Amino acid sequence: MTTRRVNLNTESADNYLKAVFALGGPEEERVSSTALADRLGVAPASVTNMLQKLATSPVPFVEYESRRGVRLSAAGRRRALEILRHHRLLETFLYEVLGYPIEEVHDEAERLEHFISERFEERIDAKLGRPKFDPHGHCIPALSGKMSKQTSRPLSDIEEDGEFVVDSISDQDSVLLKRLNAHGVTPGARLHVLRLSQEEFVLRAGGRFKPLQLPLSGAGAVRIRPND
């Protein structure tokens, strides 16, 4: 009985690999099925199923031990970074070249990232002047797959008031993103941070912007680095 050869160059497989990459964090820790199911909006059983395929393909995309979570193999990591590169180049392109509002780039890039060719990738990269960061401040993986380490930390970690520089902003919540943008909270902006309470922050991005009160959940979406 030969195992049937399955095609894993699919949008769906891409999304699983992206999710494992995102949830594994910089340490590439093992990720649980439930966490993946949550993030992908599918049933846990569907996750198990896909992980088994990804793990047993001729070139495995994940290392997977039953009930012990998954992490990416070298091939899986390569693929995840390629898609991430597509995503971030597309976001930059939509923002810079097509004048998209910042809060709309994510969804469009999320769809298109699976379908653009290498030529398309190369052409927009060239057109944009080989950018290193997308409009949310996230680093764009190089073609080689190399990606620089993050030295920033989440705003939600800040205990003491102070001045910081906005490093990056999550693109997951477009409503929040729009609000942050309207208050001048954009990558590179200088930020006065007041920790009102355990649950509440106040941000000020300078004279021309109104201060913004932000709950802890929102503060998790903003990453900052020291002022100088």
> Is residue 41 close enough to count as binding DNA by CB under 7 A?
yes
9 binds its own copies (CB under 8 A): no
Tell me which residues in 56-115 interact with its own copies (CB under 8 A). 94, 97-100, 104, 107-108, 111-112, 115
| Tokens describing residue 152 | 């920033």
Shortest distance (Å) from residue 19 CB to its own copies: 20
Partner interacting with residue 198 (select from its own copies, DNA, none; CB below 5-8 Å by kind): none
Q: Which does 97 bind (CB under 5 to 8 A by kind): DNA, its own copies, none?
A: its own copies
Q: Among DNA, its own copies, none, what binds residue 108 when CB lies within 5 to 8 Å by partner kind?
A: its own copies
Reduced to 3 states (helix: H, G, I; strand: E, B; else coil), residue 165 is: strand
CB 103 within 8 A of CB 181: yes
Q: Which helix (H) or strand (E) holds 11?
A: helix 11-24
Q: Does residue 180 bind DNA (CB under 7 A)?
A: no
Q: Which is nearer to DNA, 10 or 213 (CB)?
A: 10
The owner of tokens 């999550």 is 170
Q: What 8-state DSSP symbol labels residue 34?
A: H
Our finding on whether 51 is near DNA (CB under 7 A) is: yes
Going along the chain, which residue ranges are E strands? Answer: 62-64, 70-72, 153-154, 162-169, 190-195, 200-204, 212-215, 222-226
Q: Which is nearer to its own copies, 25 or 99 (CB)?
A: 99
Q: Which of 20, 26, 29, 34 binds DNA (CB under 7 A)?
A: 34
Are the C-beta atoms of residues 128 and 92 closer than 8 Å to each other? yes
